Structure 1
Amino acid sequence: MERVAGKVAIVSGAASGIGAACARLLAEEGAKVLLVDLNDAAGAQVVAEIEAKGGVAAYAHHDVTDEASWIDQMANIKAMFGGLNIAVNCAGTSVTKLTYPTDQTLEEWHRINRINLDGTFLATKHELKLMQETTPVVGSIINISSVLGIVGQPGIAAYNASKGGVRLYSKSVALSCAKERVNVRVNTIHPGFIHTPLLEQSIIRYGDVEEGRKFYDNLQPIGRLGQPEDIAMGALYLASDEAKFVTGAELVIDGGYTAQ
């Protein structure tokens, strides 16, 4: 227990799914956590759950595509908790439908990449700056990519591109920090198919919900979908000092999906 005691964390996309699970676990293990999201009611509920268990957390409305909002959030977390040690960047979106490449609109391409890739860039840029201003400098940035940032899937080119971009962007930042001897590690987590509200939307689009769930379960070699807590445990490891020699890495948590 208390594997991140005394550390300060920010989690984006923290109102539900993987982000909420990461925020809960980091708080349970001793971190003070700022949760940010667009869903204020759900975000406040997660904070209430954390506080009910004795954790320390706060919530703020935040758009990951807005650089001014990132500057504001860094000022907020510095004022509340004194600095920053851990960042888990979970906020993201997916395609609304499968699209053949010649039918892909520039608007949809921009929408997905703006949230998934530009949002990760802005997060990392400003989180790194605050981590460098925190004494002592002991930082861990964890960017949530996807197995679909490693392997392709037809019909979701924009999503593949955005998550693949997160993967390589994070490696570059990790190497930049290492070269300059800045004690901030940067890694990615690549979840497989995880039972979250975002995936539930895809299941609903399948038509028959039960058949949709069976379809996604059967995609996994392990025979079932992952749970948000499976990803949170990986984030906790990367956030902790146990991973002090881990940077520029990609942690795949996918029930064997990419081993095929």
Structure 2
Amino acid sequence: MSRSVLVTGGNRGIGLAVARAFADAGDKVAITSRSGEAPQELAELGVLAVKCDITDADQVEQAYKEVEEKHSAVEVLVANAGITRDQLLLRMSEEDFTGVVDTNLTGTFRVVKRASKGMLRARKGRILLISSVVGLLGSAGQANYAASKAGLVGFARSLARELGSRNITCNVIAPGFVDTEMTQVLSDEQRAGIVGQVPLGRYAQPEEIASSARFLASDEAAYITGAVIPVDGGLGMGH
């Protein structure tokens, strides 16, 4: 059965791969982006693009209204949108910290809260939050990003307890280093140093994150909630 799926930040990287995976499976997929445009490959699959800055509650509300009008109430939400503003603690400004937390954590709260309304009425739903291995391990120069991504774990587990009686699951995917635009700007030396920490000895492909999202949204994963699924090549094991 085709479901209404919303992927925030679905215009590139992990979000694009997730949107493509659900669209390939026959779901009605919508993505949010700040530009409101979809990459050509998603447009060809019939993916709906809506303009939305998740730090703006009014834009979040408008985006949901558009998705509900064109597709129906969101049944699967993949909260992927996020930013980084890396800086050492003593050089990190208030804006560097609060901007990242407001997007990555508070922005996720906004989109999840709005999706939950329809899910509660339908008495079913799948909520997936894209965190990071950095939220579990920590990373020098990323205190803001790590704090925001770690916060998603407590948020998801609280929702798993709160919404579980309505057949709504809430899980977290914690990717490691993924081969996206964000990591492709690193130097060869930096990339080699990162890969050296990963037991599998390579970066993840965005499609490997997407396949985990597909599984957690499937009937086969109906009894999984409050889980943190690492897709990190073994980098964060034990955390």
For residues 102 and 219 of structure 1, the distance between their equivalents in structure 2, rounded to whole angstroms, comes to: 26
**TM alignment of 1:17-166, pairs within 5 A:** 17-41=13-37, 43-51=38-46, 57-96=47-86, 98-99=87-88, 101-134=89-122, 137-166=123-152
Among all aligned residue pairs of Structure 1 and Structure 2, give the percentage whose two residues are the same amino acid: 32
Separation in structure 2 between the aligned mates of residue 46 and residue 14 of structure 1, nearest angstrom: 12
- Give deviations 1:131-180, integer Å, cap 9, x for gaps: 2234xx320000001111111122211111100101111111111112xx
Asked whether the equivalents of residues 191 and 254 of structure 1 are also in contact (C-alpha less than 8 Å), the reply is yes
Instruction: For 2:206 and 2:44, locate their aligned partners in 1 and report how far apart those are by CA, in whole Å.
Output: 16
Per the alignment, residue 224 of structure 1 pairs with 202
* Kept after mapping to 2: 8 A contact 1:20/1:46: no
C-alpha separation in 2, matches of 1:103 and 1:71: 35
The 1:39/1:223 distance shift into structure 2, 3 A limit, reads: farther
Corresponding position of 2:181: 197
1:65 Cα shift? 0.9
Distance 2:69 2:121 in 1: 13
Deviations 1:25-49 (A, max 9, x none): 00111210011112445x2424224
Q: Distance in 2 between matches of 1:159 and 1:147?
A: 11
**Is this contact kept in 2: 1:44–1:59, CA < 8 A?**
no
Equivalent pair of 1:117/1:163 in contact (CA under 8 Å)? yes
In 2, Cα distance between equivalents of 1:94 and 1:140: 26
Q: 1:30 to 1:118 in 2, by over 3 A?
A: same
Is the CA contact 1:84–1:127 (under 8 Å) kept in the aligned structure 2? yes
Any gaps of 5 or more consecutive residues in structure 2? none
Output the CA distance in 2 between the equivalents of 1:143 and 1:11.
Answer: 10
Contact in 2 for aligned 1:15/1:39 (Cα 8 Å) = no
SS of the counterpart of 1:231?
helix
**In structure 1, distance between residues paired with 2:111 and 2:191:** 33
RMSD: 1.5
**Partners of 1:120 and 1:104 in 2: how far apart?**
23
SS in 2 for 1:95: coil
Match of 1:206 in 2: none
Give the partner amino acid of 1:17: G
TM-score by length of 1: 0.87
Whole-angstrom distance in 2 between the partners of 1:200 and 1:118:
28
Aligned mates of 1:146, 1:229 — CA distance in 2 = 16
SS state of the match for residue 45, structure 2? helix
The list of structure 1 runs, each at least 4 consecutive aligned residues, that deviate by more than 6 angstroms after superposition, is none
Q: Distance in 1 between matches of 2:35 and 2:60?
A: 17
Q: CA deviation at 1:83?
A: 1.6
For residue 193 of structure 1, give the secondary structure of its aligned residue in structure 2. coil
Show CA shifts across 1:24-83 (max 9, x none). Answer: 000111210011112445x242422424xxxxx211111011111111122112111222
Gaps of 5+ in 1: 52-56, 204-208
**In the alignment, residue 111 of structure 2 is paired with which amino acid?**
A
Match of 1:54 in 2: none
SS of the residue aligned with 1:195? coil
What TM-score comes out, normalization by structure 2 length? 0.94
Q: Give the 5 Å matches for 1:206-225.
A: 209-225=187-203
Query: What is the aligned length?
Result: 238
